[in-house]
Structure 1
């Protein structure tokens, strides 16, 4: 009798511990899924959970499989509720959609390309040895190209120079604007088939990154185009390897301290930068808005959520899968985004993984005004 009672007590304790573990995993998973709604300056833990959402997703799948094998209906109802609550955010992180076959007429469609070119691969451009990134942009057929890290070299043998950029692309893009933000920091460029009426740097607090707002006359209507390069985490491959090693060794304290020291300041910077860009978009008072660029943050982040408030995400609307745009091991994530206002709708959006000259893949969207009631 005593052994049976002891076994019963032990069984109850085990089930309680399993339930507590399930609640902790599911709670962290939901907090990561909805981390974009919580400003990092107020509470930074959700930002970390959002960044490591894939690991939380795997843990939640593990919990689900466990209760399926145990066939505990009450626990399965709890797990099912968690999946149902997280579904909208899962479709942001991993959208499933169908691109429209018809891209409309040239008068209605607008091809947008956003590309962090990593200084054009630090490779020169000559007639006999053309720069692959410049070739890609020229052949893209995009109407508007937002470029980040478009560093132009002074020496034509060390990289792309300004004169080469303009002479090679001006036939396709008669309107070119290049600005080095934050007094000599990152270079942002806009290549356009349509007149650029105005270009102003958005005053963002940053070490080297920034954003530029352009007023572009697209078929007689002014459109606000914002080229974004938010604060970088400055993560190197060796950083990722160190984090994996600490995790493998089970050194949770050192891993936590390393991540907090490296990531926390950037999360807070993104919070402030996103708020500034959001306010600018709201003050524009028009649905004719397009935001492109390297957000240096995930689809579930506060930065993407805040900047995209009132806008649509082209990849979420018409993309498929993870859409990984940053591909430096061990970091694989979608941090490049194209957002647009209610004056447009997306027909197609994809990340082109054939372009491998940079540590980013380009992201392209086809927008249209067809079938859209202009809110202006």
Structure 2
């Protein structure tokens, strides 16, 4: 019976590895053709953890069979590294510039404008050279304070609205901004824009700021998802709700894919020029959107960060959806997601870049 049990567990381990690999390489599939497959990447960490649990089990009870999960880790090295990279933390070289991307959630947790904004205070402490924000479009007194505070530290700034003014992306820079170009794609509330920034004498860098299509889940949807994770919704109701939410996520993925294609094509048209790309992708690391853009630029997080880097942290959706990428003109250092500030539904992502 003991040997039979081990063989059953070995079969389960192999099955886990197969599913992990299928999910890990699902980012090759275009969501416009297969929207229900597009969000499988959200499940990747569950199968990775399961395989690691099998590894621990075999090391305790049957060392030779630990080769099974080890083989899975080796075969799945590429998606594992994308999801949770490990790198040496090299020192930041002199002359590097500090880039931050931050979805500030319309400063919605800043309730009393008589008190300092936690987000604005944080930005002043971090002091990035180039600051890019999504969901910046607050109004009234909040907007006045944000503009005046940031303008005191950044002599150059610009912004771009979505077609129906659903979202505003912006850039604040210590370097001159000498041009702006919207990147056209279909969306009502989201957008992308390219800003030309003079990062050095005679050297212009295109900074592409993105906020791709949102997940399509309402606050009520996210609350129900959180309730399912906690086990507060059970049986048939939970099954029906999960199917409904999965369909909504798939529909949003099918919209994001051509948006990412449009931005990637823009980058390809400007091949050979210095480019930094940042933003809220609203998609997991194992996704068509991230892979499409990483095919034309270097993913700074994968190249220089450590761990999964969870950047979205509301309603049980814990995933890295914020990104910084760059052309070969730059070398990334110490990219990381800073979870020390919880004033938005996102954490900021920060990276130092050194011009080659």
Q: How does 1:347-362 map to 2 (within 5 A)?
A: 347-362=333-348
1:308 to 294, 297, 322: 294
- In the other structure, the counterpart of 1:47 is 38
- In the other structure, the counterpart of 2:151 is 170
- In the other structure, the counterpart of 2:211 is 229
Residue 81 of structure 1 and its aligned partner are, at CA, apart by: 2.3
- In the other structure, the counterpart of 1:366 is 352
Residue 17 of structure 1 and its aligned partner are, at CA, apart by: 6.6
Greater alpha carbon shift after TM alignment, 202-211 vs 236-245: 236-245
- In the other structure, the counterpart of 2:18 is 27
Greater alpha carbon shift after TM alignment, 297-306 vs 54-63: 54-63
Instruction: Tell which structure's C-alpha radius of gyration is larger.
Output: 1
CA distance in 2: counterparts of 1:15 and 1:312, whole angstroms = 43
Residue 65 of structure 1 and its aligned partner are, at CA, apart by: 5.0
Deviation string 1:51-100 (CA, Å, 9 cap, x unpaired) is 11121223323444565567395x65444322111122212211222322
CA distance in 1: counterparts of 2:76 and 2:39, whole angstroms = 17
CA distance in 1: counterparts of 2:136 and 2:22, whole angstroms = 36
Residue 242 of structure 1 and its aligned partner are, at CA, apart by: 4.2
CA 1:247–1:103: 2 relative to 1, 3 Å:
farther
Say whether the 8 Å CA contact 1:124–1:130 is kept in structure 2: no
- In the other structure, the counterpart of 1:138 is 124
CA 1:176–1:69: 2 relative to 1, 3 Å:
same
Say whether the 8 Å CA contact 2:109–2:343 is kept in structure 1: no
Alignment length (residue pairs):
350
Residue 229 of structure 1 and its aligned partner are, at CA, apart by: 0.7
CA 1:194–1:63: 2 relative to 1, 3 Å:
same
| Secondary structure of 1:227 counterpart | strand
CA distance in 1: counterparts of 2:16 and 2:242, whole angstroms = 18
CA 1:261–1:171: 2 relative to 1, 3 Å:
same
Say whether the 8 Å CA contact 1:115–1:147 is kept in structure 2: yes
Greater alpha carbon shift after TM alignment, 289-298 vs 256-265: 256-265
- In the other structure, the counterpart of 1:323 is 309
Say whether the 8 Å CA contact 2:223–2:315 is kept in structure 1: no
Residue 194, structure 1, aligned to residue 175, structure 2? yes
Q: How does 1:1-376 map to 2 (within 5 A)?
A: 21-44=12-35, 46-64=37-55, 71=62, 76-104=66-94, 108-121=95-108, 123=110, 129-153=115-139, 155-156=140-141, 160-161=142-143, 163-219=144-200, 220-235=202-217, 236=219, 237-244=222-229, 249=234, 251=236, 253-254=239-240, 256-369=242-355, 372=356
Greater alpha carbon shift after TM alignment, 232-241 vs 242-251: 242-251
CA distance in 2: counterparts of 1:183 and 1:253, whole angstroms = 35
| Secondary structure of 1:241 counterpart | helix
Give the superposed CA RMSD.
2.7
Say whether the 8 Å CA contact 2:14–2:68 is kept in structure 1: no
CA distance in 2: counterparts of 1:256 and 1:16, whole angstroms = 33
CA distance in 1: counterparts of 2:12 and 2:34, whole angstroms = 23
| Secondary structure of 1:323 counterpart | coil
Residue 352 of structure 1 and its aligned partner are, at CA, apart by: 1.6
| Secondary structure of 1:183 counterpart | coil
CA distance in 1: counterparts of 2:306 and 2:49, whole angstroms = 20
CA distance in 2: counterparts of 1:152 and 1:35, whole angstroms = 37
| TM-score under structure 1 length normalisation | 0.84
- In the other structure, the counterpart of 1:4 is none
CA distance in 2: counterparts of 1:45 and 1:120, whole angstroms = 33
